[in-house]
Amino acid sequence: MPEEFSVSLRAGSADFAASVKPAAPAAIRARGNRRRRRQALTAAALAFAIAVGGAGTAYASLGRSGLAAAPVTGRGPSAPPSGPGGEGRPGIVAVTDRGALVVLDPLTGIARKILVRGDVLPGTVSVSPDGRTVYFAAGHGCTGMIESVPTAGGRVSVIAPGVRPAVSPDGTRLAFARTPCRPSATVASPEVVVRDLAGGGETVLPAASRPSSAGMVAELSWSPDGRRLLVSASRPNGYWVLAQVDLAAARYYLPSAGSGGSAVPVTGPDAAHSYYRGGVFLPGGDLFVDRVCCSDDGAAGVTSNLLWEIDPSGRFVHRVAIGWLDRDHTSLDGDPSGHWLLYLSGPDLFLSLGGAAPFKLTTGLGAAAWI
C-alpha cells in the first residue's frame, strides 16, 4: 500500500481542514429549515395541481357511469363505503346536476361513492357533526321531502316534508324550510321548521305575521352554540335578507319589530344598495356570506358579487373571493376545523384553504357540503 501517498494526503487534508472557516451551526440549521419549508410548499403545490388536473374529468366519469340513465324512482343506497378523504382535506358530499347524491374525492373532485342515485333536489345538503349522516331533500309531490342517508352508504330514511335541511351542531335537531301545499292560485310563504330528530316534535316559525311576506328560504345555518339560526330568505319584492333568529324568543324568521330576529347589517361600500344573497355560520362564530351589490334591475344590475367573511355584526373580516356577476353563489360552507371553505359558483365547486384565493375543484353540482 502506498503509505507515503496516504500520509501526504492526510497531512495535507488536515492542514486544509484547519484553514476551513465553516458557517455557524445556526446558519446551517436555518438553511435546513428553509429547505423544509420549500419542500412543504412544493408538496402543497403538487397536490393542488393534481386536484385541478383531476377536476376536468370529474363529471365526465359520472356521465359515463350510467347515472343519467338511472330511473327517477330508483333511489337507494349504492356502493359500499370507501376510505377516508385525502391528506387532511375533509371529504365532500354533493348533489350532482343529475340529482345524485355523491361523496367526492376531496383532492380530485371525482365522485368516489354514490349514496343516492337520483331525484335529490339541488340547493342544500347538510352533514351531521359526527360526519356519519347526510341530510338532503328529495323531490316529492308539491314540496320536497327531507331524507337522510349514512355517508358510508346504506338505507335512506325519510324524515319530514321540507327542503333546505340544516342539522344542528349537536346533531339533535334539524332545521328546514317547508312550504305548505296550497292551490296554485293561493300564495304560500315558506315556514322554517326546527324538528327534534329523536322525538319528532317541531317548532314552526312563519315568515311574518302576514302570509305573503317571504318569497323563498334559500339557506339555513346554525350558530356554533345552537341557539340561533341564520336564515337567508327572499321577500316578494325580490330583495334578499340574511336574518339571525334567536330560537328561544323568535316568533317569525323575517326581521321585524317583535319577531325575535334581526337582519345582519350590511356594511362596506354601497351598503344601502347591497344585500346578502346567502350566508352561513363558520365554526368560530363569524359568517361566510355572499354580498351582492345593486341589483335593482335583476342580474343585469349586479355590479359586485363578493364572498366575504364578516362578524355577526356585519363588520368585514376577510375577502375570500370575487364572484361572477351573472351567477348565483350557493352552498357556502366551512368545515368543522375552520380551515376550509367551499361554495358553488353556478355549477362549479370552489375550495379555499384558510380564506386564501379559491380554486375550482370540479363542476356539474347543485349543492355541496363538507363531511
Partner 1 sequence: MRDPATFDAFYSGSVRRVTGQVYAMTGSRAEAEDCVAEAYARAWQRWDKVSGYGDPEAWVRTVAYRVSVSAWRKAANMRVAHRRQWAPDDTRGLSPDYVAIIAALRKIPPRQRQAIVLHHLVGLSVEEIARETGAAAGTVKARLSRGRQAMAPYLADSEPALNRKPGPDAKPGPDGKPGLNGTEVACDA
Stretch binding partner 1 (CB under 8 A), from 10-18, 111-119, 148-156, 318-326: 10-18
Of the pair 8, 57, the CB lying nearest partner 1 is at 8
Report if residue 199 touches partner 1, rule: CB under 8 A.
no
SS3 199: coil
Residue from 4, 71, 183, 258 binding partner 1 (CB under 8 A): 4
CA distances from 28 to 34, 37, 180, 249 (A): 10, 14, 71, 63
Rounded to a whole number of angstroms, the minimum distance from the CB of residue 37 to partner 1 is 10
CA distance 258 to 249: 9
| Cα distance between residue 230 and residue 263, in whole Å | 9
* Cβ neighbours of residue 301 closer than 8 Å, sequence gap 6 or more: 294, 295
Say if CB 108 and CB 101 are below 8 A apart.
no
Q: How far is the CB of 228 from partner 1 (least distance, A)?
A: 44
* Smallest separation (angstroms) from partner 1 to the CB of 351: 30
Nearer to partner 1, 37 or 315 (CB): 37
- For residue 88, the one-letter residue type is G
Rounded distance, CA 315 to CA 341, Å?
19
Q: Which three cell numbers stand for residue 195?
A: 324538528
Between the alpha carbon of residue 216 and those of residues 41, 104, 203, the distances in Å are 44, 29, 19
* 12 forms part of the interface with partner 1 (CB under 8 A): yes
Residues 13-72 that bind partner 1 (CB under 8 A): 13-20, 22-23, 25-26, 28-29, 31-33, 35-36
CB of 4 to partner 1, least distance (A): 5
CB of 11 to partner 1, least distance (A): 7
Q: Which stretch binds partner 1 (CB under 8 A): 3-11, 48-56, 64-72, 302-310?
A: 3-11
Grid coordinates in use for 155? 338505507
Provide, rounded to whole angstroms, the least separation between the CB of residue 171 and partner 1: 38
Nearest-approach distance from CB 46 to partner 1, in angstroms: 18
Of 5 and 66, CB closest to partner 1: 5
Residue 4 or 130 with smaller CB distance to partner 1: 4
Quote the strand ranges of 83-215, DSSP E.
92-96, 101-104, 111-116, 120-127, 133-140, 143-150, 157-161, 163-167, 173-178, 191-196, 202-205
Total site size for partner 1, rule CB under 8 A? 30
Q: Is 20 or 248 the residue whose CB approaches partner 1 more closely?
A: 20
**DSSP-derived 3-state class of residue 242:** strand
For partner 1, give the closer residue by CB, 30 or 357: 30
CB atoms within 10 A of CB 301: 13
Only one of the segments 1-9, 127-135, 250-258, 360-368 lies at the binding site for partner 1 (rule: CB under 8 A); that segment is: 1-9
Helices (H), the chain: 3-19, 25-55, 58-64
- In angstroms, give the least distance from the CB of 39 to partner 1: 8
Q: Enumerate residues 236-295 that contact partner 1 by CB under 8 A.
A: none
Residue among 2 and 269 whose Cβ is closer to partner 1? 2
> For strand 304-310 and strand 120-127, is the pairing parallel, antiparallel, or unpaired?
unpaired
Residues that bind partner 1 (CB under 8 A): 1-6, 8-20, 22-23, 25-26, 28-29, 31-33, 35-36
